[in-house]
């Protein structure tokens, strides 16, 4: 009998072409089922391919998407209308490279355009059992569907995948994070992952592939599961996964790239063999109970600098570890916060609802529920995660709710998440954001970012301060 294994070990083994060629705990050569490419920096790989006279080995297995540098406004004549010449060249380069190398490209005006980690699942392009690479740190998002997601570099590693449909990788250890119970009211997947990161730190899962399990995970929607897996990298893990189940299959059924008819039946039979065996062993285990959870906000310059909204800014002087004490003090200096300040009540200058973490239809519905009948008292914007999400939100009237409340309603892009397309937070301004990172300057030089769920960001927009959404 075969020993019990996790879904990660099962999929890794099924994709190995050459196992540890050095025989010294080195890397395995893995077959890549599908590869995603965006415009940020990937022109380097295409330039290398072109210089070496190479072609893409399996162009139909790669999908190119414009999202990172694409403005969220004034898109009618883009990319020509993009004022910043450097940004315009980056956007144009992906279109040129995709056409030259025969890769399908969802560019500026394509009806399926959107953030790469949003459209992969929503199109059914992401499926259980597939090894999916992408030149982006949040590739773990695709693990929410039971895929094996591997983030890769934008130059040499991407070049290797394009030329060979394979990738060399060192196999990580395994970690299971189990969450049991029912999530309290207004506690979302974003709050769950921020709670995990606050508990274990940004290096807590380093060197591990994480599987999320437990009754609370099984009860999550697919959108919630994607949010959870998306931020695995913020806990130090490059891979985050959730075993596929009936929720996964119902989500995928009928999507454009999902198997059809008898192919669906065969795929479903295979997918049901993927979940971890009941007695599978993991290198590390972590358990969390939902009774411990509350809406979360960040107060520092790392996702681990997060606390329940009912808490206060911590005092570095109370921390025994000198290194942590110094880091937290630097974070508070940058964020212009004093120890002991209640988190609820900190004034906010602007709100951003978007990103590959929280710009799906469920996220917009949650924010609209808070906003409906209220007015934003500070500048606020909503950037859907894909053109399809935008169309669906408009068909449900969510855009009208946001516009009536004074929000901006924009086109799909990464927008203010990384500030690489002109959407930025001004220096010294404090932002309530549904993004995944709050590093110094992440949303613009000198920007002060607090990350939180869509409902919490919406609450900040209508009150002008960090607010416990449960009080609304």
Q: Are residues 154 and 265 in the same domain?
A: no
User: What would the mean pLDDT of 4-25 be, rounded to a whole number?
Assistant: 92
Q: Are residues 180 and 164 in the same domain?
A: no
Buried b / exposed e over 206-223, threshold 16 CB at 10 Å, is: eebbbbbbbebbbebebb
Contacts of 76 (CB under 8 A, 6+ apart): none
Q: Are residues 192 and 115 in the same domain?
A: no
Q: What percent of the chain has pLDDT over 70?
A: 100
CATH number at residue 264: 3.40.1060.10
Tell me, what's the pLDDT at 78? 87
Buried b / exposed e over 410-441, threshold 16 CB at 10 Å, is: bbbbbbbbbbbbbbbbeeebbbbbbbbbbebe
Q: Is residue 303 part of a domain?
A: no
Q: Are residues 360 and 451 in the same domain?
A: yes
Distance CA 208, CA 237 (A): 6
Tell me, what's the pLDDT at 41? 87
Q: Are residues 71 and 207 in the same domain?
A: no
Contacts of 239 (CB under 8 A, 6+ apart): 8, 140, 143, 148, 149, 150, 172, 208, 209, 210, 232
Q: Residue 221's domain spans which residues? A: 173-244+252-292
Name the phi and psi angles at 46, rounded to 5. -70, -35
For the record, the structure tokens of 69 come out as 């540098």
Domain count, the chain: 3
Q: HSE on the CB side for 142, CA within 13 Å?
A: 32
Q: Is residue 58 part of a domain?
A: yes
Tell me, what's the pLDDT at 192? 98
CATH number at residue 165: 3.30.499.10
Beta bridge partners of 381: 352, 408
Query: What are the tens digits of pLDDT across the range 356-391?
Result: 999 999 999 999 999 999 999 999 999 999 999 999
Work out the pLDDT band at 80, boundaries 50, 70, 90: confident
Query: What are the tens digits of pLDDT across the range 429-464?
Result: 999 999 999 999 999 999 999 999 999 999 999 999
Work out the pLDDT band at 392, boundaries 50, 70, 90: very high
> Which of 169, 196, 224 is the C-terminal boundary of a domain?
169
Tell me, what's the pLDDT at 292? 87
> Which of 138, 169, 200 is the C-terminal boundary of a domain?
169
- Angle, CA of 163, 116 and 159, to the nearest 5°: 15
Q: Are residues 182 and 159 in the same domain?
A: no
Q: Is residue 93 part of a domain?
A: yes
Q: Are residues 21 and 128 in the same domain?
A: yes
Token pair 């940020």: residue = 40
Does residue 420 register a pLDDT over 90?
Answer: no
Q: Whole-prediction pTM value?
A: 0.97
Q: Is residue 132 part of a domain?
A: yes
Neighbours of 464 (CB within 10 A): 15
User: What would the mean pLDDT of 241-260 be, rounded to a whole number?
Assistant: 98
Q: Are residues 236 and 158 in the same domain?
A: no
Q: Is residue 398 part of a domain?
A: yes
Is the separation of the CB atoms in 450 and 348 below 8 Å? yes
Work out the pLDDT band at 135, boundaries 50, 70, 90: very high
Average pLDDT for the chain: 96
Tell me, what's the pLDDT at 112? 97
Q: Are residues 378 and 428 in the same domain?
A: yes
Q: Is residue 321 part of a domain?
A: no
Tell me, what's the pLDDT at 449? 98
Q: Any idea of the CA torsion for 184, 186, 189, 191, to the nearest 10 degrees?
A: -90
Query: What are the tens digits of pLDDT across the range 316-355?
Result: 999 999 999 999 999 999 999 999 999 999 999 999 999 9
Does residue 1 register a pLDDT over 80?
Answer: no
Q: Are residues 104 and 224 in the same domain?
A: no
Q: What percent of the chain has pLDDT over 90?
A: 93
Q: Are residues 134 and 201 in the same domain?
A: no
> Which of 142, 169, 196 is the C-terminal boundary of a domain?
169
Q: Is residue 317 part of a domain?
A: no
Q: Is residue 412 part of a domain?
A: yes
Q: Are residues 428 and 450 in the same domain?
A: yes
């Amino acid at each position: 009998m075969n020993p019990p294994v996790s879904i990660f070990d099962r999929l890794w083994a099924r994709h190995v072409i050459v196992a540890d060629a050095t025989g010294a705990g080195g890397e395995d050569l893995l077959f890549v089922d599908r590869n995603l490419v965006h415009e940020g920096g990937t022109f380097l790989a295409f330039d290398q391919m072109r210089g070496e006279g190479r072609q893409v080995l399996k162009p139909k297995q790669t999908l190119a998407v414009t999202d990172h540098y694409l403005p969220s406004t004034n898109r009618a004549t883009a990319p020509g209308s993009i004022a910043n010449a450097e940004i315009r060249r980056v956007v144009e380069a992906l279109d040129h490279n995709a056409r030259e190398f025969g890769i399908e490209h969802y560019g500026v005006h394509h009806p399926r355009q959107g953030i790469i980690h949003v459209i992969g699942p929503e199109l059914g392009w992401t499926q259980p059992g597939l090894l999916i690479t992408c030149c982006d740190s949040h590739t773990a998002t695709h693990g929410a569907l039971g895929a094996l997601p591997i983030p890769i570099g934008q130059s040499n590693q991407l070049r290797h995948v394009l030329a060979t449909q394979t990738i060399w990788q060192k196999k990580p250890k395994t970690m299971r994070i189990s969450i049991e119970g029912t999530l309290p009211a207004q506690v979302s997947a974003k709050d769950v992952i921020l709670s995990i990161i606050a508990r274990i730190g940004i290096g807590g899962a380093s060197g591990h592939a994480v599987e999320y399990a437990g009754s609370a995970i099984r009860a999550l929607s697919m959108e919630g599961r994607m949010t959870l897996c998306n931020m695995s990298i913020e806990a130090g893990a490059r891979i985050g996964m959730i075993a596929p189940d009936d929720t996964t299959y119902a989500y995928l059924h009928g999507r454009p790239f999902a198997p059809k008819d008898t192919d669906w039946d065969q795929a479903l039979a295979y997918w049901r063999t993927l979940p971890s065996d009941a007695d599978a062993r993991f290198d590390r285990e972590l358990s969390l109970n939902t009774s411990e959870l509350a809406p979360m906000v960040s107060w520092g310059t790392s996702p681990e600098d997060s606390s329940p909204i009912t808490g206060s800014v911590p005092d570095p002087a109370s921390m025994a570890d000198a290194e942590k004490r110094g880091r937290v003090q630097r974070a508070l200096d940058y964020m212009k916060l004093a120890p002991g300040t209640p988190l609820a009540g900190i004034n906010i200058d602007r709100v951003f609802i978007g990103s590959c973490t929280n710009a799906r239809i469920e996220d917009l519905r949650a924010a609209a529920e808070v906003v409906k009948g209220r007015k934003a008292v500070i500048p606020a914007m909503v950037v859907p995660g894909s053109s399809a999400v935008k169309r669906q939100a408009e068909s449900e009237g969510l855009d009208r709710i946001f516009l009536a409340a004074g929000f901006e309603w924009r086109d799909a892009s990464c927008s203010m998440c990384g500030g690489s397309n002109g959407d930025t937070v001004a220096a010294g301004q404090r932002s309530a954001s549904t993004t995944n990172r709050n590093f110094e300057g992440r949303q613009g030089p000198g920007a002060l970012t607090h990350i939180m769920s869509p409902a919490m960001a919406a609450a900040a927009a209508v009150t002008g301060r960090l607010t416990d959404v449960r009080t609304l």
